[in-house]
Structure 1
């Protein structure tokens, strides 16, 4: 399969111990405020088709398998020992896939609003149809109308309480993403097409932290199901936050992660 597509890495801090994976239509910028509260250094690559990373035409580059290879290439040159992998939403799905493939490279796994996919065939097919409609809407109406629709979804409703500056910054990031890349991600690695990993969660033996917002009822249930499946996991519910706890409660999300990682450090 050739060398992985190189991802853009905005900065390389001294002795990083963690990597953060942003969500759909996000970029490294989306995760900076949360990261600024950490007591450890992280790297935050722009995922394929996002931010300043390449936007290749080949659909296969947007599959979870290809993206695992892309972030593994970053990890191999960034970390001298096992690291903490943090993923949000789409980035959390990718983080799960990476952990199942390269668990030996990780010290811990931290998932914000994450899911291992849809186990039920009928429900997954329904989601694939929904994603196909989103792709058609994006390609017919253009990026701005698609982002208007994306931001209006119930899962992001609590973000309307963010400061105007934060909302505008997030919207600028979303509008800077190439429409082709968004469509490619939905086609190649959306929840409707990804292989469910529920049956493999018990393979995870490293410490896992599951983070969900108190207003994100759907993902609270998913988080509880994941916690009951992963023996090494714990669940942290962030108050006054929806799906994107890193945006809505960046300091409290970072505090939960710092506490979790501090516990790992004390155990070693």
Structure 2
């Protein structure tokens, strides 16, 4: 299904028919991904009675420039704050008053941005390998330059070449231990993208364009924020530790022998973590 937000179409999908009296978890994927990455959260077995599995509506969204959402729009529509406003309006259009958010990497950065923008609107914010951004203007400037170069590389070469490069960056080294079928599925998902959408996402929605939420974090006591990181992802383990130091109410779950993309590398463990979090404070729309 698609929803038009200020002239931009956002693709979304319910994993099961929407039930009004059930709480909702909105899932936001990472860069080069699509909403398909979270489809595993609900399978046929989850329809069987199970007191340990929370009854939730699961809403999957393709972020702008990815999947089946709009790609060929003015670059200003890709700006970080603009996408945050789009997602708020999407919730309004779907009559979702209070929801929980799950975001991975880029999706986690957006989820944290939403939490700072309208904290009372959300029950749980679950950040998988997420960051509050870069602390200084100098760091953001350097990252913008880096992202612009990467976007230029993406535009000026075949998508297959960029995907080959991207899946071999050190951040994803642990994924080489996955089965060839899983690795190929991830590659195929990336190859469905449009180069323009990915390039605009890098340039206007990347970490260098994200506001720093480090100062905001100390006072962000609502909603409930949960961090999920892989033990082998040293950079994001350190980020999670620093976030916890600044805001002690944050909950951090570190998954052993796992890298950046926890839900891909340890799907069953990840699903159990999500279910445990959602069982804490179920809240209906």
CA-atom RMSD, angstroms? 1.9
Q: Measure the CA separation in 2 of the matches of 1:128 and 1:53.
A: 24
Q: Measure the CA separation in 2 of the matches of 1:87 and 1:66.
A: 17
The number of equivalent residue pairs is 265
**2:25 is the counterpart of 1:18:** yes
* 1:105, distance to aligned residue in structure 2 (A): 1.1
Q: Do the aligned partners of 2:99 and 2:124 also contact (CA within 8 Å) in 1?
A: yes
For 1:93, the equivalent position in structure 2 comes to: 109
Q: Which has the higher strand share?
A: 2
- 225-234 or 76-85, which deviates more: 76-85
**2:97 is the counterpart of 1:116:** no
For 2:38, the equivalent position in structure 1 comes to: 31
Q: Do the aligned partners of 1:24 and 1:89 also contact (CA within 8 Å) in 2?
A: yes
- 140-149 or 241-250, which deviates more: 140-149
- 10-19 or 145-154, which deviates more: 10-19
Cα deviation 1:128-164 (Å, max 9, x = unaligned): 2221221121122121111111111111111111222
**2:236 is the counterpart of 1:219:** yes
After TM superposition, the score normalised by the length of structure 2 is 0.87
Q: Do the aligned partners of 2:105 and 2:129 also contact (CA within 8 Å) in 1?
A: yes
Structure 1 residue corresponding to 2:260, chosen from 235, 239, 243: 243
Q: Measure the CA separation in 2 of the matches of 1:81 and 1:231.
A: 27
Structure 1 counterpart SS, 2:207: coil
**2:281 is the counterpart of 1:264:** yes
Q: Which has the higher helix share?
A: 1
After TM superposition, the score normalised by the length of structure 1 is 0.92
For 1:185, the equivalent position in structure 2 comes to: 201
Change (3 A) 1:79 1:165: farther
**2:173 is the counterpart of 1:160:** no
Q: Measure the CA separation in 1 of the matches of 2:80 and 2:209.
A: 10
Structure 1, unaligned runs of 5 or more: none
Q: Do the aligned partners of 2:91 and 2:97 also contact (CA within 8 Å) in 1?
A: no
* 1:237, distance to aligned residue in structure 2 (A): 0.4
Q: Do the aligned partners of 1:210 and 1:227 also contact (CA within 8 Å) in 2?
A: no
* 1:80, distance to aligned residue in structure 2 (A): 4.4
For 1:54, the equivalent position in structure 2 comes to: 70
Change (3 A) 1:69 1:184: same
Structure 2, unaligned runs of 5 or more: 47-52
Cα deviation 1:215-236 (Å, max 9, x = unaligned): 1011000011111222431100
